[in-house]
Structure 1
Amino acid sequence: MNNKAGSFLWNLRQFSTLVPTSRTMRLFSLGLCKTKVVHSGWNLNSLSDFHSRMQLSIRYLFQGTFFLKTGAGCFQTKGISTVAAIKSDRLLGPRKLSLDSKHSLVPVGTADNEMNKVRFHQEVPNEDIVSKEIKPTPITYKKLAQECNSLSDVLDTFSKAPTFPSSNYFSAMWTIAKRMSEDQKRFEKQLMFNHPAFNQLCEHMLREVKFLHYDQLLFSLHAMVKLGIPQNTLLIQTLLRVIQERINECDEKCLSVLSNIIEAMEPCKNVQVLRAGLRLLVDQQVWKIERVFTLQTVMKCIGKDAPHALKRKLEMKALRELDKFSVLNSQRMFEVLAAMNHHSAVLLNECSKTFIDNIHGCPFKILINILQSCKDLRYFNIDLYKGIADYVTTTFDMWKFKQVLFLLILFEDLCFRPVDLMDLFMKKVEEEPESLTVKNIVSILHVYSSLNHFYKCQNKEEFLEVMASALTGCLHNISSENLLHAVYSFGLMNYFPLAPVNQLLQKDIVTELLTSGDIERNVYKLHVLDTCLKLDDTPYQRAVGLSLPQPPLTPPYPNAKVAEVLSSLLGGEGYFSKNVQLPHNYHIDFEIRMDTNRSQVLPFSDVDVTSTDMQRVAVLCVPRSAYCLDLSHPRGSLAMKMRHLNVMGFHVILVNNWEMKKQEREDAITFLKNKIYSVEALPTADVNLQSTY
């Protein structure tokens, strides 16, 4: 016994050299895990020195967990100082601690009955008996989530017998919350915040935060963010800082969780620093990532302002893993690249093929995400859009009215005209006009007029009458701007319903449009409506009553190559005019004057513009954006301009800018010759006409 006591005192003297003499140690138990040793102050930077100075003779001194109670440097929450835990095997030596059969924690002179209270019996072969006496049975978050039915149940369990780690309780609460409806989730969250044990749980979490495993930290923070704990609280910001400091402990699973956390949080300095750290870590570990889902999660998180070199590296990694892509991975890739703001044509093309081949059964949300991502990335793939449109057309009856309309709005944004789907939707509108609201009416008119769906179409009258009747029924509660948008769309389609136009032309409504809202856009649309009322065949003999401010003139597009070709073809610049400004704010790139048969070009100096024996030809140099995606169907604004130029006496010729740039000089001359001269005026061998429209 004396030998044991002497050994203990010697070990205690050795241990005391590692801590300041002014600090004391005492046994302290919080009931969170095994019996704790609490120390009044500790410098975490001295851990490595502590390890190097510890003697082998005391490696069996303690078994369990150290609890260190910090002093001035601790976190404070409602006056409670932070307590943190460090595993003793990490402090005392490389081996896991165990009891030494030759040493005891009891000094000389202790009575037998007192000694029995603290002695660890060597003859007990099973350590479970000792564990049950010292600590509660550990509980996992999965078990908690199974046993509890609400967030309050979890907190009740915690208040009865808190166990380490506290992260399990937050993870369990989020697991339970995911099973609830949105209304129930809101109600349960409110009960959680008002629960008396909630603050206690947060305080326990603060005590443990620096000594949890890294994945526990991440899952805890993710659960807290999802549960709606305010981001500016000490608890959340502390977790963010600790996660920053230990980011090098990230493995592949942690990378995925950390990326989801950053995506879910609002921007702040600590989140920005964490995102920057994630970028550096990903740059180092990108080639080690094995799971495609983790790769895509990281790509989505790094942000649009990430270095281009990092985006390219992630793109190359994704291309290497293409053979591992599931259908879900292919669907998700569009949203991921949009989040990065990185246009990878190869990735998008490959994922488009996989998506189209497996499109049946695809949910509406995925369709919307893909089309929105294509818009953000300016990725135009007719085969992809046609595949989506055909799928929705084939399964039209399973989609809601609003869902199809939302898809059509996105197609319009992408300049794609799904003819069959739009025809089917027209029939749906004609059959169920009572389902139309003001918002629906304005959106439908915008889509059909912008895509010019009725160009050279004979079966539009019934649809337009239904839409006009629906709009007339909403005039009592429609805003001035919505009324303007609707009538403007009707004007593009050369249709003018009486009641809506009369209400729009009232002086007080025009005045309101010129003084509020998006004034520049309102002025433009009022000008267009005024032009339509003057040039189109309408029952109205009056236009907009008030004088409108002039919209800004469109700067002329440089068409040097077209001018050079016209000069060579027609015999000099005296046979055409450039950048001609016409009434009603219309502009044409080139004007040519010909005889009525369009067989001979007339010089400008010899022709009277009012002559009836002359045909004026307007050459319009058109960008891609003036057409639908197939590059053959003009959109609404261009179709209206062509209609109005015809009314003003012009024969209209369209020259596509992108085609003219690619053509050699001789090919360009032949192309314009076939466009300008009539078929009868051209030799048979030269005829290679392309549609003017």
Structure 2
Amino acid sequence: MNKKTSSFLWNLRQLNLNICPFGSSSIRRMMKGDHLELQKPKITYQNSILKNLLLLQSLQKPLLSVRFFCQGVLVFQLEGSEIQKRRLNTLTSASVGKLLYPRQLSSDSQCFFMSDTTPHLAVDGPKKMMVPLEHDLSQKEKQLDFVKHRHLIKHCNSMSDVLDIFSKFPRFSSCNYFISMWKIAKNMSEDQKRFERQLLYEHPAFNQLCDQVMKEAKTVKLQQVIFTLYALIKIGIPQNTYLVQVLLRVVQERINECDETCLSVLSRTLEAMGKSKNVDALRAGLRLLVDKQIWTLEHILTLQTMMKCIGKDAPYPLKKKIEIKALKELDKFSPVNSQHMFGALAALNHRSVILLNECSKMVAADIHGCPFWMLMSILQSCRDLQYQNLDLFTAIADYVTTTFDMWKMKQVLALLLVFESLRFRHIGLMNLFLKRVVDISQSLNQKEILCILHIYSSLNHICDSENQQFLEAITSALNTYLPKMSSFSLLKAVYCFCVLNHFPQEPFNQLFQENIINELLTSGTESERTEYMLHQVNACLELEGTSVLKSTAITLRECSSAPFRSHVDIEEMLLNLLENKRLFLKNVQLPHNYFVDFELRMDSKRSKVFPVSEADAFIAEPDIIRVALLCVSRSAFCFGTTHPRGGLGIKMRHLKALGFHVILVNTWEIKKLDMSLAVTFLKNKIFSQEAFPTAPGFAA
């Protein structure tokens, strides 16, 4: 017996020397140097099965090396409900060290070891120890099956129930418990989540579970750590807690272990987190990893998730790489991938016109059935990227128009508001919505009324058949809110009515009260915008308002003149066309802070141009008209049309009231032409169709 004992002790010493060549004191020093201040589990033989192995080996003759410590050992591995068996003939010392690690051989491991090399003379001893192992194996299999998060969800109705089970099985993988909590909380309302979270914090096992998660973080698979971190954030555990920060640090240290699944989940996690030093450091590391692994990614959704995570601050070369990768994978895009690409590019702040055009085609072709939130996401992303696609916008608007009855009023209003920000005017949808507003006008709240007025005035939309009925209905709805409206909201509503050429008396009388005007002029909020709208309202009352309202116009100080815009190229084209600099004026200032880029004096048939000095003598003559040339940019029109928007529309009305014939010159069109074509373009604009087909004769 003494010989067997000495043999066992000799093997144990050899094992210790091979695994820990630096000695126990060195191990203690290394453990103290842990930057996260997490104490690693001690290397001990906690598993009774491993003790059985050591005892069995001690019954044999002394082994020459620890390399053969597990020679002839059978590995029984649980796979589903069956136990698979394989043999290990040789295991190196490094592998033994790994086997002795508590995470790999703790009681919740799915691998169990038994020896088939026991000498015959020692059969009785080992058999007695192996008998309960079969019973333990079946029990362990049931328990392992129970604590998987799928089964936890079936047995639990709340997050606290999960902690109750953890109290009974504290040695099983802690990651499953938090993942189960998240999947249970997914279907809860915000109030219920808040209540459940409070119960969670008060549960006596919560701190124990958090400690176990932190202890296991460096030893379990990285995928489990990342899923746990994602679950914590989704449950609502505060980001600045020690638990979350420790997991962030662990992921930083092990980020090179990320596979595609880890990258996808980690991207979703960081996207949901606010800024902090650890989050920013991890996001920077993720960018480096994406830059390295971009060409190996297989799934489009993973690429899009990472685009949303790495954000607008990503370097341009990385954004370009992502764009090239997405273009290479275009043939794999599903309709859903195409829809999500808009939001991904907006989050990345990368305007890839080629990619957006291709995705727009796919979205427009498969628009039916697209949910409201996705339509809103696509349109908002287009607005953020300053991307406009007439076919895409028309397809979305046509789809909403066709299925108009299935949409809520608030949903259509939200879509129209985004369309307005994109300068897109869909006549059919706006007319249909206008009719619904007439039917439900009395149920509209103040915010909805102001939004509707803003949309229709900004796009300068007038429905000939329903316009008067619409304006009366919206005015009646607004009048109920006049006593409690803020001064600035009232001014915006009145300004919108002016753009729509509608002058209801009650809102105007309410606005022009002395205390409201003084409040608007003295308040510092949006002072320039306030001053501009007041001048426009005053101009409307003086130039085109009714006689009842003209007396309400107020005296305002002269606002600062708008800066003159220089149009040297168009001036040169006019000189080529008219051949006389005295035949036009440029940058003409007019009352009410209006100005025109070029002014000409022409006969009533617009066939002849007079010099300004000569025209002055004929100002009283009815045959002489003043022609205003306005050089307008693309943004002054509704997208894809030559329909003027609200600001340009009201200016054209007022110039006509001042006696001008208004001609619009589209600068973006004329700049694309060479000089000869541009001169012809201007000639067709300025002279009427009844004018001479050749250059007209000008006065000397």
Candidates 383, 400, 410, aligned match of 2:418: 410
1:18-70: per-residue Cα shift (whole Å, max 9, x none)?
42359899xx9999x95699xxxxxxxxxxxxxxxx94255689999xxxxxx
2:646 is the alignment partner of 1:636: yes
Deviation at 1:588, TM superposition (A): 0.9
Task: After superposing the two structures, state which structure 1 stretch, 293-302 or 388-397, moved more.
Answer: 293-302
User: In the alignment, does 2:448 pair up with 1:440?
Assistant: yes
Match of 1:667 in 2: 677
- In structure 2, C-alpha distance between the alignment counterparts of 1:124 and 1:618, rounded to whole Å: 103
Aligned identity (percent) is: 51
For 1:612, the equivalent position in structure 2 comes to 621
Q: CA deviation at 1:92?
A: 6.3
Distance 1:152 1:34, change over 3 A: farther
1:359 partner SS: coil
Indicate the residue corresponding to 2:67 in structure 1: 56
Shift of 1:410: 0.6
The 3 A distance-change label for structure 1 pair 62 and 408 is same
Mind listing any 5+ residue stretches in structure 1 that lack a counterpart? 38-53, 65-85, 105-111, 688-693
Cα distance, 1:301 vs structure 2: 1.3
Deviates more, 1:247-256 or 1:518-527: 518-527
Question: Counterparts of 1:259 and 1:380 in 2: how far apart (Å)?
Answer: 29
CA drift of 1:101 comes to 7.1
Calculate the TM-score normalised by the size of structure 1.
0.85
Give, in whole Å, the separation in 1 of the partners of 2:536 and 2:49.
Answer: 81
Q: Which amino acid aligns with 1:628?
A: C
Does residue 340 (structure 1) correspond to residue 348 (structure 2)? The answer is: yes
- Whether 1:479 aligns to 2:486 is yes
Task: Quote the Cα distance in structure 2 between the aligned partners of 1:654 and 1:446.
Answer: 24
Decide whether the 8 Å contact of 2:312 with 2:347 is kept in 1: yes
Counterparts of 1:63 and 1:134, CA distance in 2:
18
Mapped to 2, the partners of 1:136 and 1:484 lie a distance apart of: 72
Decide which of 462, 472, 478 is 1:465's aligned counterpart: 472
Farther-moved stretch of structure 1 (253-262 vs 321-330): 321-330
* Secondary structure, aligned partner of 2:462: coil
Say which is worse superposed, 368-377 or 611-620, in terms of deviation: 611-620
Secondary structure of the 2:285 match is: helix
Aligned to 1:582: 590
**Deviations along 1:128-151, whole A, 9 cap, x unmatched?**
445579999332112111211111
Q: Contact 2:435 / 2:466 at 8 angstroms: preserved in 1? A: no
Shift of 1:210: 1.5
Aligned residue number for residue 143 of structure 2 = 137
1:20 paired with 2:24, answer: yes
Q: Distance in 2 between matches of 1:549 and 1:142?
A: 72
Amino acid at match of 1:641: K
Instruction: Give SS of 1:392's match.
Output: helix
Q: What is the deviation of 1:280?
A: 0.8
1:429 counterpart residue number: 437
* C-alpha separation in 2, matches of 1:295 and 1:3: 64
* Equivalent of 2:202 in 181, 194, 201: 194
**Alignment partners' CA distance in 2, 1:525 and 1:237:** 51
Distance change (3 Å), C-alpha of 1:36 and 1:423: farther
CA distance in 2, matches of 1:283, 1:236: 26
Question: Is the contact between residue 507 and residue 545 of structure 1 (CA under 8 Å) also seen in structure 2?
Answer: no
Q: Residue 578 of structure 1: SS of its match in structure 2?
A: strand
Secondary structure of 1:165's partner? coil
Corresponding residue SS for 1:662 = coil
User: Partners of 2:500 and 2:74 in 1: how far apart?
Assistant: 84
Q: Which amino acid aligns with 1:137?
A: Q
Say if 1:267 and 1:128 are closer, same or farther in 2 by CA, change over 3 A. farther
- Deviation string 1:439-476 (CA, Å, 9 cap, x unpaired) is 11111011001101128x46411111111111112112
Using the size of structure 2 for normalisation, the TM-score is 0.84
- Partners of 1:134 and 1:496 in 2: how far apart? 82
1:542 partnered with 2:556: no
SS across alignment from 1:361: coil
Q: Measure the CA separation in 2 of the matches of 1:577 and 1:21.
A: 94
Contact kept? 1:29, 1:35, Cα under 8 Å: no
Q: Deviations over 1:466-499 (max 9, x none)?
A: 1111111211221111111111000011111100
The answer as to 2:163 corresponding to 1:155 is yes
CA–CA distance in 1 between the matches of 2:630 and 2:468?
30
Structure 1 residue 4, shift from structure 2 partner: 3.4
Instruction: Measure, in 2, the Cα distance between the counterparts of 1:447 and 1:583.
Output: 28
Distance 1:36-1:620 versus aligned 2 partners, 3 A rule: farther
Q: Secondary structure at the match of 1:229?
A: coil
Deviation at 1:212, TM superposition (A): 1.5
- In structure 1, what is the Cα distance between the partners aligned to 2:645 and 2:537? 17
Tell me the SS of whatever aligns to 1:137: helix
For 2:447 and 2:25, how far apart are their aligned partners in 1? 77
Residue aligning to 1:505: 512
1:11–1:57 CA contact under 8 A, matched in 2: no
Paired letter, 2:434: M
Which sits farther off after the overlay, 93-102 or 233-242? Answer: 93-102
> How far is the alpha carbon of 1:176 from its aligned partner?
0.7
Partner of 1:302: 310
> More displaced, 148-157 or 593-602?
593-602
Relative to 1, partners in 2 of residues 1:560 and 1:36: Cα closer, same or farther, differing over 3 Å? farther
